[in-house]
Structure 1
Amino acid sequence: MEAKDDATRAALIEAGRLLFARPCQFFYASQRIDQLPPVGLPEIALCGRSNVGKSSLVNALTGQNALARVSNTPGRTKQLNFFDLGERLTIVDMPGYGYAQASKSVKADWQGLMFDFLRGRPTLRRVFLLLDARIETKPADHAAMKLLDEAAVGFQIVLTKADDAKPWWLAKRQEEAEALARKHVAAHPLVLTTSSQTGAGIPELRAEITTLAAA
């Protein structure tokens, strides 16, 4: 059974590699819910606090250094960005949340856009909620998980920037993330740990995403 599981995992890793070897390109951006592109391919979305590394993760997954714009200014992404992955899947880069210097009105607009998108998008298969492995889970992260529960959208926790965390701290964060997943009805039980810098966990995340793509 274990050998079969190993073979299955290896097959998924290879399927993920092949999927993300396909061309991936930006094709749409939306700042309002009435500007969304028509539904089509299955969609997965990346969601997280500003500066959690969403754009870096998109680039690492696709092997394209400049597909998603990486900014040193937290909160720069203020719209839903849509990427077509080889006509098999749409990747949605969602606006970052929890940026301290953003105005209250902008924060409310972002939260409203996220909730409306999450609640009303029939092709959305899963949200990958990114948490920074280097720091503790913030109130804004807990609020996002509550939002996902309320929107009844399945989500999966992905720890980012693992290369910059001490081993003992990373193990603690992994345990905490798994405990958080158990507390939320919409959460997937498997927590993934990644580094866009070293590539750690990227094949496993690709494999997980592959299960959600069109055949």
Structure 2
Amino acid sequence: MTGQHVHAQENHDESPSAWRDVDRYFTESLVHEDEALVAARRSSSRTTMPNAEVAANQGALLALLAQIAGAKRVLEFGTLAGYSTIWFARAVGPDGHVTTLELEPQNAEVARENLVRAEVSDRVDILIGSATESASRLIDSEAAPFDFVFIDADKPSNPQYLAAALELTRPGAIIVIDNVVRNGAVVHAQSTDPRVHGVRSVTEDIAAHPNLDATALQTVGIKGWDGLILARRT
């Protein structure tokens, strides 16, 4: 009938296995993960946090966000095997630069191998040591402002990383914070998990900052139930 819409009955599967199937479908359809990225993802087994890298579709999202923002200088908190670092290095192009902060020398060595394999090592600097201290040195050295910041390191330090990111960027910069949903635990103010408190604290800091516009998105998929905060300096 005119003006009416008939919707076919569908079966909805909301299980984690369905999340993974959907991720695989869209990744296989839309995301090109070449041999260098596959090798980097697999090499995470040699890091101190195996399988902690972003999923392929999330890596592609980060690269697209950086390109949409016109980013040429990216700062990354947390390197691991360099999987997301490769996505960023390719997004900024040969005239761009990525600075990535990694606590563990073991992880930095794995990342270096992967960056060389991906042929982007010439546009990436890995700073080894405490990310807070490395960021402080960048601030003290008056490093050129970054256009895009990805925070994906130890969650209790998220507020400190945000503060450093604000020192190291200028208006128009994008800040993305990963792993903020914590399987839904983020809503529990009485949680004893310091990672949850790190997320809640940084969320409060962003909400209170007069020059940050932000939102958060939940994600489900190969990496389970999580999400990210996306903020822009005004």
How does the TM-score come out when normalised to structure 2?
0.39
The higher relative CO (CA closer than 8 Å, separation ≥ 6) is in 1
How does the TM-score come out when normalised to structure 1?
0.41
Question: Greater helix share, 1 or 2?
Answer: 2
